[in-house]
Structures are given as structure tokens and as C-alpha cells.
Amino acid sequence: MIILPGPASRDLATRLALKLRAKLVPVHFKKFPDGESYLRIEGTIKGENTAIVQTTSPPQDERMMQLLLLTSAANDQNPEAITVIVPYLAYSRQDRRFLPGEALSAKMVMDALATCGVSKLITVNCHNPAALKSFPILVQDLSAIPLLAKHFKDRGYEGAVSLSMGKKGLVTALEAADILKGSSDFLPTKRHRRTGRVTIEKKPLKVESKVAIFFDDIISSGGTMMKAVAHAKRQGATRVFAACVHPLLIDNAEEKILRSGADEVVGTDTVPSSVSIVSVAPLIAKALTRQGA
């Protein structure tokens, strides 16, 4: 297998190539003075099973364009197959029209990738898994929650309370609790239709004198996590950790969460950041191996 590192995920691509003992073909990337992206595959991938690694965290539009350019350049070389690994998949929120005239961005992205010759897409904890249904290409959505839970277990937090946001997120808390062997619960959430702002319901949590760990797929502005952490502290948790798969951390979100009482914010390398200490490379390597990389 050949790994092509997209400019937004070079470190993760390198970790993945090492895990798989796959060849990493360099991709030269630069920006023109007007801001346009330029890239060139510095090697040949003709007839090769090829995996492209490129996250599409902010700046999403730019990174999405780089992904399409890289996929198109790869397709032009006639590889055996192209799998795109998009650890954080942008534009997955909008899979249906909430208001007339809105763009179906999730479908548009998939159509564009299919046009560029992609046969399979692998992503991690897609924010809106419903958006992945009925796509023209094969999609695999992996969960990095067990890796995050294992990280805390290895640090001695076995038995901690695993918490998540939203009733739908309870499965996240259960996934973590399966590894941490403690109890699990969730805080109900509501999302505003137009602003997208999430509010949490401050229900009682059984965290008194315990270590509590919140697991979420994403921390964006940090607003949801801040409120959740402060609530757990008020309920008597001794230590509170904020863990997420995709640490977008917009506008000093990490600082805000720490100020709300969290001991630490921990994320994965689906999105490179100061808190991306858990790598999803083993998870992706396993998925690629299973498909016969």
C-alpha cells in the first residue's frame, strides 16, 4: 500500500505508514501568493493500492480543496484503488434541508470525491453519522472513544465515571465505560435550529468524590464542555477531564474549559492541536489491514 500525506495530516500519515510498514510517497505542497493551493505527488502510484490522509478541520474549505486536488492528481496516475482517510470530516452536518434553499453539503462533498475516483472513505467519529448513509462510495466510520478511554485507563483512572453529551451520546459514555469499568451517564442537550448553539440540561450526576471524564466527539467553541465540566464540579467530582476525538478548539476553547474547572483537555490527532496526544493511527491501520492493505 502507498500512503499519500495530505498537507493537513502529515504527522498522522507518517504514523500510519510506520504502523502499516507502507511506503510514504511525498506530496509537495505550497500556496500561491494569492492563496490558491498547489500540490504535486513526488513519485509514482500507478497500479498501487493508495490511501490519502487529509483531515478537513478548519480551515475546512482550504483543506477540502487540497483533498480534492490530491485525490484528482492521484486518480490521474491510475492507481489500483483510492481510499481517502479523512479523520475529521467537515460538512457532515448538513445532510438534509432544514430550511428551503439550503445546500446539501454532505452529499456534494461525497459526489466530488466519487468524481475524483475515490472508492472508499474512512473517517473517525463522524459528527452526523446519518450523513454517511446512501453515499455513492463505501464509507467506514470508526470510533476513537475506546482509544481515549484506554489512555485514561493507562494513566490509572480505571473506575472513573464516563460521561457524555446528549441522549444519542450515551453510546459514547458506554463505549468508554466498557474500558474504564466505572459507571456511565449523559447530560441531555438541545441544539438551536438556527444558531446551532448547544445547551445542556443540568441533571444530577453521581460523581461525588469521584473522577469524572467527559467524552465527546468534538470540542469546537468549548461552550458545551465548559458547562458540563462546571456542572460535574458543582456535583462534587474530585477531578474532571474533558476528552474529545476532534479538538477543533476554536477561540481559546482549551483555556476556557480549564478555567471552568477541568484538570486537562485531551484529544486525538484527527485534528492536530496542542491537546492531540492520542493517535488514531492504530485504529486506521487496523481498518486498512482488515480491508487487505
Q: Are 81 and 92 in contact (CB under 8 A)?
A: no
Q: Are 115 and 156 in contact (CB under 8 A)?
A: no
Determine if 279 is a binding residue for ligand R5P (CB under 6 A): no
Determine if 221 is a binding residue for ligand R5P (CB under 6 A): yes
The count of other CB atoms within 10 Å of the CB of residue 206 is 12
Judged by CB under 6 A, the residue of 7, 87, 166, 247 near ligand R5P is 166
Determine if 220 is a binding residue for ligand R5P (CB under 6 A): yes
Q: Which residues is 5 bridged to in the sheet?
A: 53
Exposed / middle / buried, residue 207 (Cβ in 10 Å: 0-12, 13-18, 19+): buried
Alpha helix stretches (DSSP H) within the chain: 10-20, 60-75, 105-115, 145-154, 170-180, 223-234, 253-259, 281-290
Number of residues lying near ligand R5P (CB under 6 A): 15
Beta carbon nearer to ligand R5P, 48 or 216: 216
Determine if 254 is a binding residue for ligand R5P (CB under 6 A): no
The rounded distance, in Å, linking the Cα atoms of 34 and 285 is 37
Determine if 17 is a binding residue for ligand R5P (CB under 6 A): no
Judged by CB under 6 A, the residue of 224, 260, 276, 279 near ligand R5P is 224
Q: Which helix (H) or strand (E) holds 244?
A: strand 239-247
Per CB under 6 A, which of residues 200..219 are in contact with ligand R5P? 216-219
Quote the least distance from Cβ 125 to ligand R5P, whole Å. 9
Quote the least distance from Cβ 28 to ligand R5P, whole Å. 35
Stretch that binds ligand R5P, among 14-22, 61-69, 162-170, 266-274 (CB under 6 A): 162-170
The binding site for ligand R5P (CB under 6 A) comprises 165-166, 169, 189, 198, 216-225
